[in-house]
């Protein structure tokens, strides 16, 4: 039998995300995608059941890659400061390396597609929950709901990362993240979180 061309699948995946990032979900048509990826429209249907399946599979793949990078060298026994810093660095690294993945990811997360039955649940969940609980037990973290922890610890982080990826922020000029600024912000966030 004929062997699958890995390049074709990768090309479809990459071009699909590029199209969505540049033109939105309504800018993605199967025929345009086929042309951009250099394959026949029918080829896409070898890899994906239909358009919906393409979108949800793309999201699940990105989510898996992202989780893998975010959890690198992480374990929930780490101190609050060490663990949070590691997560920020891991996430930042991924986002800077694959900005298109991240922008696709964010667009998807804010769309109704996120409620699709085929979307996998986040695998950090357990890890993150344990990390929070351990830090509270150790007295490094004030007692709070995990969602409030998440909002303060990561909501602020993602907001600043999105500024970094824009050419002009809502405040006027451009904004570039640096290691120093990231450390400054970590200290601020830690002050908020400590008991």
Partner DNA sequence: TTTGTAAGTGAATGAACATTCATTTATATT
Partner DNA sequence: AATATAAATGAATGTTCATTCACTTACAAA
Q: Which residues bind its own copies (CB under 8 A)?
A: 21-28, 106-107, 109-113, 122, 125, 128-129, 142, 144-148, 150-152, 154-160, 163, 169-172, 175, 181, 184-185, 188-189, 191-193
Nearest to 91 by CA among 170, 150, 5: 150
* Identity of the residue, 31 or 187, whose beta carbon is nearer to DNA in the bound complex: 31
Q: Is 45 in the site for DNA (CB under 7 A)?
A: yes
Verify binding: residue 60, DNA, rule CB under 7 A: no
Assigned token pair, 90: 């891991």
CB of 156 to DNA, least distance (A): 37
The span of 45-53, 62-70, 88-96, 175-183 binding DNA (CB under 7 A) equals 45-53
Task: Indicate which of its own copies, DNA, none lies near residue 75 (CB less than 5 to 8 Å, by partner kind).
Answer: none
**Per CB under 7 A, which of residues 8..37 are in contact with DNA?**
8, 28-32
Find the DSSP H helices in the chain: 6-23, 30-37, 41-47, 51-70, 80-97, 99-109, 124-137, 146-150, 156-165, 179-193
The token pair that represents 126 in the structure block: 């357990």
Closest listed residue to residue 101, CA positions, set 150, 152, 67: 67
**Residue 79 binding target from its own copies, DNA, none, CB below 5 to 8 Å by type:** none
Q: Round to whole Å and give the CA distance between 195 and 181.
A: 24
Helix (H, G, I), strand (E, B) or coil at 140: coil
Give the SS3 label for residue 39. Answer: coil
Q: Which is nearer to DNA, 34 or 84 (CB)?
A: 34
Task: Return residues touching DNA (CB under 7 A).
Answer: 1-5, 8, 28-32, 38-46, 50-52
């Amino acid at each position: 039998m004929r062997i699958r061309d890995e390049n074709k699948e990768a090309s479809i995946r990459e071009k699909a995300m590029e199209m969505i990032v540049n033109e939105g979900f309504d800018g993605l048509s199967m025929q345009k995608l086929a042309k951009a990826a250099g394959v026949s429209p029918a080829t896409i249907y070898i890899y994906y059941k239909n358009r919906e399946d393409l979108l949800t599979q793309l999201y699940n793949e990105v989510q898996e890659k992202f989780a893998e990078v975010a959890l690198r060298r992480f374990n929930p026994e780490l101190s609050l400061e060490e663990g949070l810093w590691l997560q920020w660095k891991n996430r930042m690294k991924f986002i800077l390396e694959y900005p298109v993945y991240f922008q696709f990811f964010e667009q998807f997360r804010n769309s109704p597609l996120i409620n699709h039955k085929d979307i996998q649940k986040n695998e950090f969940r357990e890890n993150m929950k344990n990390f929070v609980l351990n830090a509270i037990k150790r007295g490094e973290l004030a007692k709070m709901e995990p969602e409030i922890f998440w909002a303060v610890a990561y909501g602020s982080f993602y907001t600043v990362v999105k500024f970094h990826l824009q050419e002009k922020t809502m405040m006027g000029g451009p904004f570039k993240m640096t290691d120093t600024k990231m450390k400054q912000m970590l200290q601020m966030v830690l002050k908020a979180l400590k008991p």
